[in-house]
Structure 1
Amino acid sequence: MAKASERRQRVMKRSIHLGHCVCDPSQPCPCDLFKEKNLCLCAGERLESPTGPVALTQLVEKPGCASKIDQAFLKQTLKGLPTLEDPRVLVGMPAGDDAGVYEMGDGMALVQTVDVFTPSVDDPYLFGQVAAANSLSDVYAMGGRPITALSIIGFPVRKVPDHVLSEILRGGIDKMKEAGVPVIGGHSINDDQIKAGFSVTGFVETDKVAKNANAQVGDVLILTKALGTGIVAFAGQIDRATPASLDAAAQSMCALNKDAADLMIRHQARACTDVTGFSLMGHLSEMALRSGVDVEVVWDDLPWLPGVLQFVADGILPGAIERNKESCAERVKQGQGVSEVM
């Protein structure tokens, strides 16, 4: 205790002399956390674990894929950036696909992706599982087999107890273990908001790469999961979701696309993409554009998570809805009887 007290005095003395917290120069010393909780993180002190559960979605502005940069802005930003021409790059950044593919020789190619987002569920362990399943889906969507993963996490050490970080990582590792993918390392950042994900590496046979640009006339569109996780996550964030909707969305987000990917390869699907933050219309319109085909979607045939259509009717819609709608508006034609929002 004496050493801890001496360390606090030493660190705070230096901070007060400088007029800035030595750990966060944007803060004065004493900082608000010290005033409120008598806690100095610069001295190695930590928040005590709360007695109740920590609701992760209440700690972020935008849950899950809603935290991603919108498609139109991203395309504009990436336009004109230099690329290294390499004939071994089978799928690169200009393709706008789910993962990059690099030819290794002997008919095999490397599949690489990275996917990070904020919590879309409240439970830390469950969030880790969702982050892992989401990252793996990019490799599965390319027809690949994931082999290794690196963990990436941003964590606000000033705001959230340490055990939350451990639970997020444990959930992610357990889900990767379920997929047969070892987590061989990672990277962590002291961040303002919680975010987690993985960089995943896999292999694919060069003649079996499933791109988002190979759809052909007469193909049938198959969805491996129900739609509406973003709407449910937002409804949960504002305390308007039902337990049944939250549970169904969580189970869906945690489910691996491994079996679906195996079926896709077995039945020689020509095109595939991972439907996430840009919405079904955003991802599908991109596939149609790159494939040079038109796609007809029958509204009544779309699968929805429990409660989603009622949330829509009640106006419970996240801001990402408008951004996604604007991004693909020129490529999507709305049929009669289809909700303008959807």
Structure 2
Amino acid sequence: MQHEIKLTHFSHGSGCGCKIAPSVLNKILKSAEPAFTDPRLLVGNDNRDDAAVYAIDDENVIISTTDFFMPIVDDPVDFGMIASVNAISDVYAMGGKPIMAIAILGWPLNKLSPEIANLVLKGARQACKNAGISLAGGHSIDSPEPIFGLAVTGSAKRKSLLTNSGAKKDNHIYLTKPLGVGIMTTAMKAGLLGNQDFKAVRDSMITLNKPGEDLGTLECVTSLTDVTGFGLLGHLIEMCEASNLSAKIDFEMIPQFNGLKSYLDQKTIPGGTSRNYKSYGHKVNQLSEIQKTILCDPQTSGGLLIAVDHENNEAFLDLLKRFNLNLQPIGKITEKKELAVYVE
């Protein structure tokens, strides 16, 4: 059957591993031209936040984001779901509520049938339904490789908005999903990933970061982002730099997929890992090879990275119970030091 075609064989990259390296992105975004400033634009690109935020009045804001990539899995329905959940996550990562999405589709019509693209959209509609929003339209092009994602609009109360720049000294750091997506999906592309391990990583990628919508209402939560293509290290460094602080993390406390070690032994390491370390490695203390590989592993539809005031965290702990999240802190925010992140 046509829909059993392996989508990952039609693209040179996969998932958030397709992202342009941060060091290259800096060159692309660099401009000598003065930017147009709008006083209602509360969050733009200054701190590399997850989404743009626009004030519509003194109390309410609109959140706008987009994310798209090439297939990270072979099944078209799964691809549509994962790409959509990943895009919607950027709204949750601002403490917002998604309200609408439109699709972005690039499809190689000379290689893959429209019926397979229809299955991608089926997965997208399911993800949007799970998030309680409509897939309200979109745009498509005939492209050399399959590409799919969403542009998502969200809303929030201005006082509930969370960014990556609000962390405070002594905050505890939490991560809501395990690391290793890039390693596991690279193993899948090589035909090495076991069925149970595939199910674990797929289930993680199609799980919405819904707790983010409620995190914005908690006074003890100071900063929020999601962990995607730049890996845990990259996104934590961005949080630290935006907050003008540093962080110390305990590598042994970082959640990882079960079975990850066997794939590390088989060297199923995505290209994005080395690109991430090249961009961020000078901002962290010396790491072992296994620490580099896991901390710089590009995540697709990764978890929320949360900074929490641990002295006033009862409401946060209650929220974790409500979402059946059994989490322990992976580190804490410190005063600003020579390096952005220290790994123990």
Question: If the TM-score is normalised by the length of the shorter chain, which range does it land in?
Answer: 0.7 to 0.9
Distance across 1 between alignment mates of 2:170 and 2:127: 36
Cα shift readout 1:250-303 (whole Å, capped 9, x = no counterpart)? 110000111343245335411111110110001111111111111111111011
Corresponding residue of 1:116: 68
Higher relative contact order (CA 8 A, sep 6+): 2
* Equivalent position to 2:200, from 245, 248, 264: 248
* Equivalent position to 1:165, from 100, 117, 129: 117
Q: 1:98-109 maps to which residues of 2 (within 5 A)?
A: 98-109=50-61
Q: 1:85-234 maps to which residues of 2 (within 5 A)?
A: 85-234=37-186
SS of equivalent to 2:46: helix
Contact 1:244 1:306 in 2 (8 A): no
* Equivalent position to 1:71, from 7, 10, 22: 22
Corresponding residue of 2:246: 294
CA 338–132 in structure 1, closer or farther in 2 if over 3 Å, else same: closer
Cα shift readout 1:107-126 (whole Å, capped 9, x = no counterpart)? 11110000001111111001
Corresponding residue of 1:53: 4
Q: 1:20-39 maps to which residues of 2 (within 5 A)?
A: none
Distance across 1 between alignment mates of 2:237 and 2:97: 26
Distance across 2 between alignment mates of 1:320 and 1:217: 31
Contact 2:61 2:158 in 1 (8 A): yes
How many residue pairs match? The answer is 293
Superposition RMSD on alpha carbons, in Å?
A: 1.7
Distance across 1 between alignment mates of 2:147 and 2:119: 13
Distance across 1 between alignment mates of 2:148 and 2:164: 26
How far does residue 334 in structure 1 lie from its aligned partner after superposition? 3.0
Distance across 1 between alignment mates of 2:148 and 2:9: 16
How far does residue 81 in structure 1 lie from its aligned partner after superposition? 5.8
Cα shift readout 1:226-254 (whole Å, capped 9, x = no counterpart)? 11111111111111211122111111000
* Equivalent position to 2:286, from 317, 329, 334: 334
Distance across 1 between alignment mates of 2:110 and 2:288: 51
Q: Mind listing any 5+ residue stretches in structure 2 that lack a counterpart?
A: 295-344
Structure 1 segments (4+ residues) deviating >6 Å: none
Contact 2:179 2:256 in 1 (8 A): yes
CA 88–264 in structure 1, closer or farther in 2 if over 3 Å, else same: closer
Q: Greater Rg, structure 1 or structure 2? A: 1
Distance across 1 between alignment mates of 2:32 and 2:208: 34
Contact 1:64 1:233 in 2 (8 A): no
Distance across 2 between alignment mates of 1:121 and 1:304: 20
Q: Mind listing any 5+ residue stretches in structure 1 that lack a counterpart?
A: 1-48
Q: Which amino acid in the other structure matches residue 82 of structure 2?
A: V
1:262 aligns with 2:262: no
1:314 aligns with 2:266: yes
Contact 2:94 2:212 in 1 (8 A): no
Contact 2:106 2:143 in 1 (8 A): yes
Distance across 1 between alignment mates of 2:289 and 2:141: 47
The TM-score, its normalising length taken from structure 1, stands at 0.82
Distance across 1 between alignment mates of 2:185 and 2:274: 16
Q: Which amino acid in the other structure matches residue 156 of structure 1?
A: P
Distance across 2 between alignment mates of 1:195 and 1:337: 32
CA 163–288 in structure 1, closer or farther in 2 if over 3 Å, else same: same
Which stretch shifts more, 77-86 or 330-339? 330-339
Q: Which amino acid in the other structure matches residue 282 of structure 1?
A: G
Contact 1:299 1:338 in 2 (8 A): no
Contact 2:161 2:216 in 1 (8 A): no
Structure with the higher strand share, 1 or 2:
2
Contact 2:67 2:86 in 1 (8 A): yes
